[in-house]
Structure 1
Amino acid sequence: MYKYEEKTVNTKPIFKGRILDVRVDEVLLPNGKTSTRELIKHPGAVAIIMVTDDKKIVLVEQYRKPMEKPLVEIPAGKLDEGEEPLACAMREMEEETGYECESMDKLISLYTSPGFADEIIHIYVAKGLKKKENAKGLDEDEFVDLMEVTLQEALELVKEERIQDAKTAYAIQYLQLQEALLK
């Protein structure tokens, strides 16, 4: 039990979708009063930090409908039902970039928006990249442009606000701290 735990009294499903579910929970607060919480349930996701042998960061640019503009991001994707995060990361890396790797290490798992969503994103670092022949392609509703940039160019993309999502900002900051990887 947590000091300020909120116990669910009632759950009302609002929407069940392909990517997420929305519900409203009535909760009992630690002070004995009740309140409501609007929640998004998400299956989780992965993202991959990829640096080529020539010290380029592999990024993808894709149109993001909620922002009504394209964003530059590290490769990422949603977990399929029952899929292990590492398997998802390997699949997404191949689908979005055409690369495979010798090894992939988990760096961290982060909650993306814990105030209203349970989405957790598992961030991996891929090592020993090589282009794969006959790589799996993108999903039929996915359109991305592959980019390979230096750390300095990635920092410029942040300044230009072409990189604006948290996972990619985290990845760029991680690479700054690990600059030896890029020299």
Structure 2
Amino acid sequence: MIAKISTVPEGTAKVISTEPLLETEAVWTKLVKKTYQDPNGITRTWESAERRTRWKDSDIDAVGIVAIIENETGPEVVLQKQYRPPLDKIVIELPAGLIDQGETAEQAAIRELKEETGYVAEVLETSPVMFNDPGFCNTNLKMVHVSVDMSLPQNQNLEPELEENEFIEVFTVRLVDLWKECIRLEKEGYAIDARIANLAEGIEIAKKFKL
């Protein structure tokens, strides 16, 4: 079962051109060539990407947020729909965002959740540092689990604080239904973020092996 919290028009967002990115124009990322020695002592090279946005006083780039709402029909997770130009698709995602200077992962999670969804939450736990795609880039993050108390007045009339270039639809899905909803949404043409798919798959494995 899906509960829709807020809606933004999906419109006709689409990629209209693709071209090489000049080094002088790159704001968020850079491509690098690593020269390394493998276990057999052979010198090799590796192409990879790196973020330009990590603060010197931080060991992580970003946070992903697993926001759980407890209710009578079982716990629900807060999800988002957001158009992503690299895929030219609308992606089903967990709330997430980059760390601001001086922030902890937990502070960033509370701030980003409020900005993107309007929800006010309480931190439950934080994961170890995770790497999204270590064969391609050095981007990393921590997953922060938070609890959303729907009895709080702040969570009755949600007021997201989206930036001018952010178009986000917020909805919730019961955790027990997350795997089948990922399958259904993919069939409808949405892209599924790996963090959601991993969460859903973990729930299914826990069911299967009665963990």
Q: TM-score range by the shorter chain?
A: 0.7 to 0.9
Does 1:24 pair with 2:33?
A: yes
132-141 vs 145-154, which moves further: 132-141
49-58 vs 170-179, which moves further: 170-179
Name which of 183, 193, 201 aligns with 1:159: 183
Distance 1:149 1:163, change over 3 A: farther
Structure holding more strand per residue: 1
Once the two structures are superposed, residues 3-40 of structure 1 have per-residue CA deviations (whole angstroms, 9 ceiling, x without a partner) of: xxxxxxxxxxx567332222122234444432222121
Alpha carbons 1:49, 1:171 under 8 Å: kept: no
Gapped runs of 5+ residues in structure 2?
1-22, 55-60
Distance 1:78 1:107, change over 3 A: same
Shift of 1:106: 0.6
Distance 1:40 1:117, change over 3 A: same
- Residue type of the partner of 2:77? I
Shift of 1:103: 2.8
Residue 121 of structure 1 corresponds to 141
Residue 196 of structure 2 corresponds to 168
Distance 1:96 1:133, change over 3 A: same
User: Structure 1: which 4+ aligned runs deviate by more than 6 Å?
Assistant: none
CA separation in 2, counterparts of 1:71 and 1:119? 19
CA separation in 2, counterparts of 1:138 and 1:144? 8
Alpha carbons 1:71, 1:164 under 8 Å: kept: yes
% identical equivalent positions: 27
Q: How does 1:1-183 map to 2 (within 5 A)?
A: 17-42=26-51, 43=54, 44-54=61-71, 55-130=75-150, 131=155, 135=159, 137-160=161-184, 161=186, 162=190, 164-176=192-204
65-74 vs 145-154, which moves further: 145-154
Residue 6 of structure 1 corresponds to none
